Amino acid sequence: MYDAIVIGGGPGGYVCAIRLAQLGKKVALVEKEYLGGTCTNWGCIPTKAMLSSAHLYTEIKEKSKRLGVEVGELNYRLEGIMAHMKRTVTTSRKGIELLLKKNGVDFFNDLAIIKDSKNVLLESRNEVLNADNLVIAGGSEPSLFPPFDSIAGLWTSDDIFKLAEMPSSVAIVGGGVIGVEFGTFFGTLGVKTTIIELADHILPYEDSDVADEIRRTLKKKGVAVMEGTKVISVETSGESFHLVTQGENSETIEVDKVLVAIGRKARISDDIRSLGVEIRRGVVTDKRMKTNMEGVYAIGDIRAEIMLAHVASYEGIVAAHNIAGQEMLMDYSAVPSIIFSSPEVASTGLRESEIDDSSSVKISKFPLAANGRARTMLENTGFAKVIAESQTGKILGASIVSPSATDLIMEAVVAVKNGLTVEQLENSIHPHPTLTETVLGALEGIEGMSIHS
């Protein structure tokens, strides 16, 4: 008899299982395929491995001569890029397996079928595991709907990592995180790339000024960006695809490949539906990660809320502590959103687009071009933006477009999470010369006292 069975070995499930074991609980983790889930195998890790190759290619191509570094003919090998990606994924999987062993988690590489809230059947072993608690962490899968669900040969974000030959042209349907990251990858390596986004601008969950910066850099790479545009039909002709679009400039696009990146949906199997948990878009929980059924918890993408690996991991920690009898509530107020474009994008807390007329806030933006460290790196595209309460100076949100923005955002995450003020951060000495001074410049600008702009 286990204290808990965790179903799904992604960033939510394996973290939850390890934390439960650290809290002295007997725990089993069941994963039907690969440890690490979408993030390790078909998402965060392989994408960033491929983008690391693309970013290095860009650095050499665009900066080497100005930095006094002489190189010969520049080229890339797709097989080398994909080999790096596969090594990274394999190393991550093995690392998770070692962590499970180190912490005494019983791992079963099998398909879990939930019989009821206390019993789980392992299909291949034909063995039933019993537990006082269940944690459902089944993750998500690419979302496909007409006209894309009936066309053979389209790529989803799960398929792209099987890439064996670079296409000469690709259309990416969806200009969110996945679309922009792969648009960056293909555009950097010379593939004729078109991003088609239904919303008014790419990165629709970020502010328009953030999207403006990324759109400009994509266009410099030769990427065509179509916004406010809908794909109304897709047809195949030999080895190519024809996409008919509808928007301000409706046209038909012919490409070698189509990547559909229009989001993901919760993976909810029949046994979960039969269990009796409340389901809307995904499995419904409270802030303790509890479902409507006693002893049953749900974490990560299967909730169909904020589908981010780091959110799933923290939800797993919250669930573990509550199972262990230590009340802990999930707080989504300072979730970092990160995009590995070029330059990178990161945001947390309140966005400028979310401010209504009744809000009393101050907004300050500091350009990357005014930062000394950025100049040494030959970088001038981007900014740091801070939003704060007018009366108290409390930091409500921030957005950063910059090299290493995905690291820089943590200062703002800590500030928003803990209710820190502009004065508190401004009076914390920032090292020089660093990109963190871009954030400092934005903080100083809240009171109109920015020194370097």
Active site residues: 432
Sequential DSSP letters for 182-226: HHHHHHHTT-EEEEEESSSSSSTTS-HHHHHHHHHHHHHTT-EEE
Place of tokens 């010369």: 433
Residues 6+ apart with CB under 8 A from 55: 188, 342
Residues 6+ apart with CB under 8 A from 241: 151, 153, 154, 171, 234, 235, 254, 255, 256, 257, 258
Cβ–Cβ < 8 Å for 174, 201: no
First to last CA, the chain: 64
- The residue type at 2: Y
Q: How many beta carbons lie within 10 A of that of residue 7, not counting itself?
A: 26
Q: What share of the chain is helix, strand, coil (3-state, %, to 5)?
A: 35, 25, 40
- Give exposure, 124-153, as e/b (b: 16+ Cβ within 10 Å): eeeeebebbbbbbbbbbbbbbeeebeebee
CA atoms within 13 A on the CB side of 420: 21
Place of tokens 């897709």: 234
User: Beta strand pairing status for 169-173 and 192-197?
Assistant: parallel
CA distance linking residue 285 with residue 283, whole number of Å: 7
Per-residue tokens: 93: 């999987």
Picking from 330, 283, 320, the residue whose alpha carbon sits closest to that of residue 13 is 320
On the question of a cis peptide bond just before residue 167, with omega within 30 degrees of 0, the verdict is no
Picking from 33, 1, 35, the residue whose alpha carbon sits closest to that of residue 133 is 1
Place of tokens 């573990």: 320
Q: Following CA atoms 356, 357, 360, 365 in sequence, which dihedral angle do they give, to the nearest 10 degrees? A: 60
Cβ–Cβ < 8 Å for 18, 101: no
Burial group, residue 263, by CB count within 10 angstroms (0-12, 13-18, 19+)? middle
- Give exposure, 38-49, as e/b (b: 16+ Cβ within 10 Å): bbbbbbbbbbeb
